[in-house]
Structure 1
Amino acid sequence: MSNVLVVNSGSSSFKYQLIDMASESVLASGLVERIGEETGRSSHTVTAAAIDSVTDAAPTMLDATYTREVPIPDHTAGFRIMLEAFAEHGPSLEERAPVAVGHRVVHGGARFFEPTLITPLVEINIDELSVLAPLHNPGALQGIRAAKAAFGGIPHVAVFDTAFHQTLPAAAYTYAIDRELAESYRIRRYGFHGTSHKFVSEAAAAFLGRPLGELKQIVFHLGNGASATAIDGGRSVDTSMGLTPLEGLVMGTRSGDVDPAVLFQLARRAGMSIDDLDTLLNKRSGLLGLAGVSDMRDVVEGAQSGDAAATLAFEVYLHRLRAYAGAYLAQLGGADVISFTAGVGENSADVRAGALSTLGFAGVEIDPARNAARERGIRVISTDESRITVLVVPTNEELEIARQTLEISPS
């Protein structure tokens, strides 16, 4: 038996998946949210893979979802509700007991560069690194402690979003500010979405039947949060996000790159505080700030109907994508593969076509029919003559976390 429970915990919610690693299929998934509010909510989905494995009937191809609303005062109570959902609706954790629990942790700083068995010392380090990710690491730590209480007899492994980017060269991760000040406060570029970038780059190599070590790749992870990474031989050599997930591409509500002097001007002339500026750049900017909506589908629809604000938002979004594509072609000295992943990257043909529309000089040729096809799974969207292969690669961060968890878990 090689089932792994994957937990992605925030300050007021956590998601989970129970994955059968023999087949790499999800047996159950769920979300426990509104923790600490007057009424919490949980949803638990038993997948067709789990249902069919315990019946003699023909495959149902249907998942079954169960919801519940009760007070959930803390993460420990949330895990108790999750265990009750498994007991009541399945699959049975006695028959499908996890051999390990993998935890997504956003920020590992420069301390963690691989999946790490969680010990009390590791918990202390995750807590100390909360200064670099105050919205993420504290919630992850609450989830870790609650999960260890619920599953005390098995290994717990932390998989860090930043770990994949620990291969960045110093020239890529160093900011050009006072060196001693930067060292004192750990100011450098760390990069994020590393679990996704690792999964996608390895999946692309496997799909093409080529050794990972010989490929130069650019991966665009485009969701509500968005990042680009240049990958040389399976190693991250440059990435768009920095000290925090704010730097880089235009996102749903985040600005991405902006001249720091903009903040000085707004503080001096508009009287905005540090908290005001934080809220502006993280929650009131990006597509939302430009078009009034944060969902790319709404932006594209608005642009197609002639809305000037939506049209500009779409053009700004594409302009930034092209800028990073060109920069990473230069950093890598060319590329073999460009991949698009996550919600926008996997589903928006308009974004993919627009992002690469100026890269003909580099040998990129998009096949319009392939790009427009509404297919699932990994696929090629470039022409057969394109010198750079362009792919759509559905990401699976939970599976990547489970793989890394199983890899280092004591047998």
Structure 2
Amino acid sequence: MNDLTLVINLGSSSLKAALLESNGGSLWRGERNLAAGEELETALESWMAPALGPHRNTIARIGHRVVHGGERFTAATRIDAEVEQVLHQLIPLAPLHNPAALIGIHWTRQWTRELAPEPSQWACFDTGFHSTLPEAARTYALAEQLRQKGFRRFGFHGLNHQHVSETVMEQWCQQGREPSQLRLISAHLGAGASLAAISGGRCIDTTMGYTPMEGLVMATRSGSVDPGLLLELMREGLTTSEITAQLQQSGGLKGLSGLSGDMREIRAQVLAGHSGAQLALAVFRHRLLQGIGAMAASLGGVDVLALSGGIGEHDQALQTELKQMLDWIPALDLQVIPADEEGMIARLCQRAEADFAEDQPRSSSGDVDAALI
């Protein structure tokens, strides 16, 4: 029986995909950026279709990374017409990423239409892992009329935070330790950056909020700023799009350094004595330490700090700095865990599909009711 999972992870200008076996083994992984003016559908057809062609008949399910699931979607969800319609309605919450996911869903449906059986399609949400946030952690101090409109904290990078959590919990089980007692801070540090406070496998706090702009300093995103500053910019005549550009494309490491949002370049320029790079690194570290302290407070202590993402995994200087700066935390275990959103998506799809099959009514012969096929 064919039991391969195709994982599609599409951004506004990037494509990542993986074909994974049920045991987690990888048959194929690919990644590329869109060329200037290139349409996403064209890239999928010219790049992914040829690469996956030999395996098309062996794909059992397809998992799509969807950045924002709103309040409706908190777990891997089988995609049907109704789900797809709701995903369209959620586009304003993630205008750069959710449209790309919908393009991927449409393309894979067309690409597999002639297969029998047609692979099931699943949406896996970056916000889902944070659905366990306590009310106090997910609520903004706003008037009820605004809160009723859905203005609340959601959190992001949940797929990788969950992968990190499951990896560390498995280590604890192998060591004979009680996983329900694990107090973990997962630090996803890449172009986007966020922290998650995870108690016994459940997320209880995180640094991102209603959008992925809240929280830590990122490559080109400012992270949290005083709302009063934004009001002042509006009074000075900046439009919404201009403020958005300042916060999303011109802020963060790039804005602080005046150079780049790439931490590797920042590090090199720090050694060369560049004052902007020195400021960028100092602010990045300060906000990171501030966030770690907040997550530790929410957990009532911390056992493991797990670094992931491009910066977290590869910036050895940062790893050393954190060990020194966090020596006030007793017996802190600092680990580096490679990010694996694709592997997490595949596991979530397999679990959800198994649950879905168990929930289906069965005929007297034990087969799935033909009316449901």
TM-fit CA distance, 1:11? 4.5
Cα distance, 1:36–1:294 mapped onto 2, change above 3 Å = closer
Which residue of 129, 144, 158 maps to 2:105? 144
Alpha-carbon distance, 1:13 to partner: 5.0
Among 388, 392, 395, the alignment partner of 2:332 is 388
Q: Is the 8 A contact 1:204 1:391 kept in 2?
A: no
Amino acid at match of 1:281: L
The change in CA–CA distance for 1:308 and 1:81 in structure 2 (over 3 A counts) is: closer
- Per the alignment, residue 165 of structure 1 pairs with 130
- Of residues 171, 180, 183, the one that matches 2:148 is 183
The answer on 1:351 being equivalent to 2:318 is: yes
1:281 aligns with 2:242: no
* Shift in Å, 1:130: 1.0
Partner residue in 1 for 2:15: 14
Cα deviation for residue 345 of structure 1 reads: 0.2
Provide the secondary structure at the position in 2 that maps to 1:361. Answer: coil
Name 1:258's counterpart in structure 2.
225
- Aligned mates of 1:352, 1:2 — CA distance in 2: 39
Provide the C-alpha distance between the structure 2 equivalents of 1:348 and 1:13, rounded to a whole number of angstroms. Answer: 23
Hey, what does 1:26 align to over in structure 2?
26
Kindly state the Cα deviation for residue 31 of structure 1 after the two structures are TM-superposed: 4.2
Equivalences for residues 82-231 of structure 1 within 5 A: 82-87=48-53, 91-94=54-57, 97-152=58-113, 153-184=118-149, 186-208=150-172, 209=174, 210-231=177-198
Map Cα deviations across residues 128-168 of structure 1 (whole Å, 9 max, x no partner). Answer: 11121111111111111111121231110110000000000
5+ residue gaps, structure 2: 358-373
SS at match of 1:315: helix
Letter in structure 1 aligned against 2:327: G
Shift of 1:407: 1.5
Q: Percent identity?
A: 40
2:6 counterpart of 1:5: yes
Q: Deviations over 1:265-312 (max 9, x none)?
A: 22223x311110000000000000011211111111111221111111
Query: Deviations for 1:321-359, whole angstroms, at most 9, x for unmatched residues?
Result: 110111111111101111101110011122223334332
2:272 to 305, 328, 333: 305
Number of residue pairs matched by the alignment: 346
User: 1:89-133: CA deviations, max 9, x gaps?
Assistant: xx4434xx1110000000001111111111111111111111211
Question: Are the equivalent residues in 2 in contact too, given 1:9–1:140 (CA < 8 A)?
Answer: yes
What is the correspondence of 1:57-68 to structure 2 with a 5 Å cutoff?
A: none
State the one-letter code of the partner of 2:167. A
Distance 1:324 1:85 in 2: 41
| C-alpha separation in 2, matches of 1:264 and 1:308 | 29
State which drifts further: 331-340 or 348-357.
348-357
1:13·1:35 contact (CA, 8 Å) conserved in 2? Answer: no
Q: Which moved more, 1:11-20 or 1:236-245?
A: 11-20
Change (3 A) 1:398 1:77: closer
Query: Could you say what secondary structure the match of 2:208 adopts?
Result: coil
After TM superposition, where is structure 1 displaced by more than 6 Å over at least 4 residues in a row? Answer: none
Structure-2-length-normalised TM-score: 0.88
Post-superposition Cα deviations, 1:13-50, rounded to whole Å, max 9, x if no partner, equal 5321111223x22212234654893xx4xxxxxxxxxx
Quote the Cα distance in structure 2 between the aligned partners of 1:319 and 1:77. Answer: 40
Q: Match for residue 402 of structure 1?
A: 346
The alpha-carbon distance between structure 1 residues 325 and 148, as it changes in their structure 2 partners (threshold 3 A), is same
Rounded to whole Å, the distance in 1 between the matches of 2:320 and 2:216 is 17
Deviations along 1:145-197, one digit per CA (max 9) or x if unpaired, are 1111212311101100000000001100111111212212x111100000000
Structure-2 separation of matches of 1:398 and 1:85: 17
Q: 2: distance between equivalents of 1:155 and 1:100?
A: 5
Kept after mapping to 2: 8 A contact 1:338/1:389: yes
- Secondary structure, counterpart of 2:148 in structure 1: helix
Where 2:203 maps in the other structure, the secondary structure is strand
Contact 1:165 1:190 in 2 (8 A): yes
Equivalent-residue separation in structure 1 for 2:284 and 2:32 (angstroms): 33
Distance between the aligned counterparts of 1:345 and 1:245, measured in 2? 18
Q: 1:395 and 1:74, CA in 2 relative to 1: closer, same or farther beyond 3 A?
A: closer
Residue 177 of structure 1 aligns with an amino acid whose one-letter code is L
Q: Distance in 1 between matches of 2:253 and 2:13?
A: 25
